[in-house]
Amino acid sequence: MADVVVKLEGPGGPEKLTVTEQEPLQPGNGEILVRHEAIGMNFVDIYHRTGAYALPAYPGVIGVEGAGIVEAVGPAVTAIRTGDRIAYTATLGAYATRRILKAERAFLLPQAVDSRTAAASMLKAATAYMLLHKTVCVGSGMTVLVHAAAGGLGAILVRWAKDLGAIVIGTVSTPEKAHIARSHGADHLVIGRNADLVSEVRALTDGKGVDVVYDGIGGDTLVQSLRSLKPFGRAVTLGQAAGPVPPLNVEELRQGKSLSHASVIAFTADPANYRQAGEAAIAAIARGLSSIIAADYSLNDVQEAHRTLESGRLAGSFLLLP
């Protein structure tokens, strides 16, 4: 079977993704050739496809994480050998059967972590590490609000925050997703897209509000997130699944509230942060803090995969399989 690569011809809908044959690849200095066993899909792929996060040039290859087998190593690569199982994250170019990867971006996978789980979980676990340990240091007794608590990132955030001793309130869109979020340990849930978030959070916290909100929804939800905080609480915005965040009135930050705009891609652009977050992610995955795989698709079905991911119908992570 010929190697294939998915090219994004330009910003737009799923029809802009085309599958073409790929010429044989050879790693250069400090690089490795990886044969993917699984490729992770994330909502950042949608942002790249639509142009919300523009690529440097078109056509380009999107996808930021994967796992597989090292088939060749280039000069000056000493820590990785042919045949090693590796995973990587936060690195564009994943939508392909094989890819060239800088060796410094690869993490050796322990025997306990299979390639599918790694590809589905690396970016989300690295993001959770950043959110829970860097953006805000979550600890015992804190109350945390996690939006989309049944999703790929949300589920890991819920479980990791519980491990840290936090009380977790989650939001979900349906009763079915509420069941999933409860299975991950959420203490309380706000169910439905039209729920009165602020009132329900206040009722669940004896009128106090929460210490921190993780908001990957965007749109008008961010204002509701800020209003759900206690004095000196922090809201963290990290996505715009519901659309761009409109201009924010600074009066929403009264009582010492604060707002952070977190990006794991920006955070891990620093090599030291990348190693730290990646190692923490693999350790978390190895102890069971991994994503549930909601669906997998062949690379040839990438357009359908994008439509389903973008719809939000399924809870969990999506994979592309070579």
Which CATH number fits the domain that encloses residue 135?
3.40.50.720
pLDDT value, residue 59: 97
- Contact at 8 Å (CB) between 231 and 252? no
Model pLDDT, residue 239:
83
Same domain for 129 and 250? yes
Residue 20 domain-assigned? yes
Q: What is the CATH number of the domain that holds 307?
A: 3.90.180.10
Contacts 24+ apart (CB under 8 A), 4-7: 4/96, 4/97, 4/299, 4/300, 4/322, 5/61, 5/95, 5/96, 5/97, 6/61, 6/62, 6/63, 6/95, 6/96, 6/299, 6/302, 7/59, 7/60, 7/61
pLDDT for residue 316? 86
Does one domain contain both 245 and 156? Answer: yes
Looking at the structure, tell me whether residues 231 and 255 fall in a common domain.
yes
Asked if the structure places residue 270 within a domain, the reply is no
Looking up tokens 């915005």 gives 237
The reply to whether 25 falls in a domain is yes
**Residue 193, both tokens:** 């897209």
Asked if 257 and 145 sit in the same domain, the reply is: yes
Based on the fold, state whether residues 57 and 171 are members of the same structural domain.
Answer: no
Residue 193 structural domain? 124-265
Asked, for residue 151, whether it belongs to a domain, the answer is: yes
Domain count, the chain: 2
Take residue 53 and report the two structure tokens written for it: 């996060």
Residues 143 and 84 in one domain: no
Q: Give residue 1's pLDDT.
A: 57
Does any domain span residue 142?
yes
Task: Per-residue pLDDT tens, the chain, 322 aa: give them.
Answer: 579 999 999 999 999 999 999 999 999 999 999 999 999 999 999 999 999 999 999 999 999 999 999 999 999 999 999 999 999 999 999 999 999 999 999 999 999 999 999 999 999 999 999 999 999 999 999 999 999 999 899 999 999 999 999 999 999 999 999 999 999 999 999 999 899 999 999 999 999 999 999 999 988 899 999 999 999 999 999 988 777 888 989 999 999 999 999 999 999 999 999 999 999 999 999 999 999 999 999 999 999 999 999 998 888 899 999 9
